[in-house]
């Protein structure tokens, strides 16, 4: 089939490459000419394991091309996937749909033959219906339909998640559209991937419900971590124990600094805002609490770090390991790690950040921080080391060697993923979130967490939230 993929960010670039990989002729479209040029040369504009190979193979085969022209896209494709961003609005917690709307407005005048427009971006429920009406107005008489087919890929596993998804969810208003999408995904359906065919509103809601559930799991375990800290109990053992119950499951119960990125934080806020518009805001009022618990982990981490640094950051050199919102990605959007680094810098600390892939993006957002070429350089002379993103690289560090470069061998593992015994044996004082803390001199037992703006739309200038600014 001849498909176009409009928007070539994390979602679109991966979708375009993977659709070509399963045998379709694909034209990727983006308004950013630099990005189009890079992709056409097989160079992903961001770090995503496996993407380079699938991109170069399919650009090389001639099945995958890129353009900036929506006219060319309209002429080329029978199915147009819309993969543009839906960030949080600057002035409210709701989703900013201007990129989605702009695609429809710009594509409509060029449509002249039967086609299906398939949204993949995460949108508020009701968007398909709204875009369908808009398209009827802008392209009257053209045989076209809008369907919604949300994407569930995770950064770091995007290629694998696209080629071997857990499920395909497709919301259409007609059998014809449903059949078209079954044909697009035929190789996956033959491989046994479950296909949920439904109406567009349900498909739109499935996506935000899934992300809300994942966010809820993370905030639940982080709330337990705080209780564990107060009670002297161990949240990792607790998560293992409840995770053995197959009704609960162990995944997404890693306690720590909480969730960030371009999806979970803004999706739960947009969902709550949309539910409010629909008059059912109270039904999902718990999402504000999920958001608040999540933002609290950043404040909690800063407060614990300050205690470990001796009650002040002024005059202290702090090493930060990790800048991205998760490992195996260079994405720093709403990164909890960077938010903590920025807050410590604002409070007078001299912060040296290392990240295996995210330094360029981090520097673009926070040029005032210092960036190190490797973990040892970040740790040199440090009064305190903070482990804020759980890259495998940090698990493999040699704690004995690092102990010789820091000023004080003291580390806060805010992701609960380092082998604490190994670090302690090498002479480190190790504090982790929600795990029993060994005594440290006259460290106060109780950590006072200042109240912050927390949930909903974070206040401008609050370094603990790097939400869209």
Binding site for ligand UGA (CB under 6 A): 122, 151-155, 211, 214, 218, 252-254, 256, 258-261, 263-264, 325-326
- Residue 6 β-bridge partners: 29, 82
φ, ψ of residue 242 in degrees (nearest 5): -75, -25
Cβ-based neighbours of 59, under 8 Å, separated by 6 or more: 39, 40, 41, 42, 65
- Please state the closest distance from residue 451 (CB atom) to ligand UGA, in A: 22
Q: Which is nearer to ligand UGA, 323 or 369 (CB)?
A: 323
Q: Which is nearer to ligand UGA, 65 or 298 (CB)?
A: 298
Q: Which is nearer to ligand UGA, 144 or 294 (CB)?
A: 294
CB contact at 8 A, 160 and 135: no
Q: Helix, strand, coil shares of the chain as percentages rounded to 5?
A: 45, 15, 45
Q: Which is nearer to ligand UGA, 209 or 426 (CB)?
A: 209
Q: Tell how far CA 375 is from the center of its chain.
A: 24
Nearest-angstrom CA–CA distance, 327 and 454: 24
263 is catalytic: yes
Return the residue matching tokens 């995210």.
358
- Please state the closest distance from residue 54 (CB atom) to ligand UGA, in A: 18
CB contact at 8 A, 114 and 143: yes
- Please state the closest distance from residue 152 (CB atom) to ligand UGA, in A: 4
- Please state the closest distance from residue 45 (CB atom) to ligand UGA, in A: 17
- Please state the closest distance from residue 250 (CB atom) to ligand UGA, in A: 9
**DSSP helix/strand/coil, 361:** helix
The one catalytic residue in 115, 263, 379, 455 is: 263
Q: Which is nearer to ligand UGA, 261 or 399 (CB)?
A: 261
Nearest-angstrom CA–CA distance, 270 and 272: 5
Nearest-angstrom CA–CA distance, 180 and 144: 12
CA atoms within a 13 Å half-sphere pointing along the CA-CB vector of 343: 25
Catalytic residues: 263
């Amino acid at each position: 089939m001849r498909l176009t993929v409009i928007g070539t960010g994390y979602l679109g670039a991966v979708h375009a490459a993977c659709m070509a990989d399963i045998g379709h002729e694909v034209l990727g479209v983006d308004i950013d000419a630099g990005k189009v040029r890079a992709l056409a040369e097989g160079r992903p504009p961001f770090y995503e394991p496996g993407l380079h190979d699938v991109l170069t193979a399919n650009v090389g085969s001639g099945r995958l091309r890129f353009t900036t022209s929506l006219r060319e896209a309209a002429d080329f494709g029978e199915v147009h996937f819309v993969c543009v961003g839906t960030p949080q609005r600057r002035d409210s917690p709701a989703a900013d749909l201007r990129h989605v709307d702009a695609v429809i407005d710009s594509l409509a005048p060029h449509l002249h033959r039967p086609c299906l427009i398939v949204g993949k971006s995460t949108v508020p429920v009701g968007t398909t219906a709204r875009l369908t009406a808009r398209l009827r107005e802008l392209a009257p008489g053209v045989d076209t339909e809008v369907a919604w087919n949300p994407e569930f890929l995770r950064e770091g596993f995007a290629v694998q998640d696209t080629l071997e998804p857990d499920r395909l969810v497709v919301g259409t208003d007609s059998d014809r559209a449903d059949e078209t999408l079954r044909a697009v995904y035929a190789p996956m359906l033959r491989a046994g991937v479950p296909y949920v065919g439904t109406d567009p509103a349900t498909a739109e809601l499935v996506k935000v419900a899934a992300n809300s559930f994942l966010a809820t799991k993370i905030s639940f375990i982080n709330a337990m971590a705080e209780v564990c800290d107060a009670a002297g109990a161990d949240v990792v053992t607790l998560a293992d124990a409840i995770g053995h119950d197959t009704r609960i499951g162990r995944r997404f119960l890693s306690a720590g600094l909480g969730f960030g990125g371009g999806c979970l934080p803004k999706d739960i806020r947009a969902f709550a805002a949309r539910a409010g518009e629909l008059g059912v805001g109270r039904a999902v009022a718990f999402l504000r609490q999920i958001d608040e618990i999540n933002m609290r982990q950043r404040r909690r981490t800063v407060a614990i770090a300050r205690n470990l640094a001796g009650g002040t950051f002024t005059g202290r050199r702090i090493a930060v390991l990790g800048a991205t919102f998760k490992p195996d990605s260079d994405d720093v959007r709403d990164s909890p790690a960077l938010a903590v680094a920025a807050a410590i810098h604002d409070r007078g600390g001299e912060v040296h950040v290392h990240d295996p892939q995210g330094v360029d993006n981090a520097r673009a957002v926070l040029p005032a921080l210092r960036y190190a070429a490797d973990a040892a350089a970040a740790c040199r002379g440090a009064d305190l080391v903070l482990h804020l993103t759980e890259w495998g690289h940090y698990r493999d560090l040699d704690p004995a060697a690092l102990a010789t470069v820091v000023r004080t061998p003291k580390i806060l593992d805010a992701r609960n993923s380092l082998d604490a015994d190994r670090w302690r044996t090498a002479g480190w004082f190790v504090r982790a979130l929600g795990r029993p803390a060994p005594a440290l001199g006259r460290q106060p037992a109780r950590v006072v967490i200042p109240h912050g703006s927390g949930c909903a739309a974070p206040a401008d200038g609050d370094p603990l939230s790097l939400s869209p600014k």
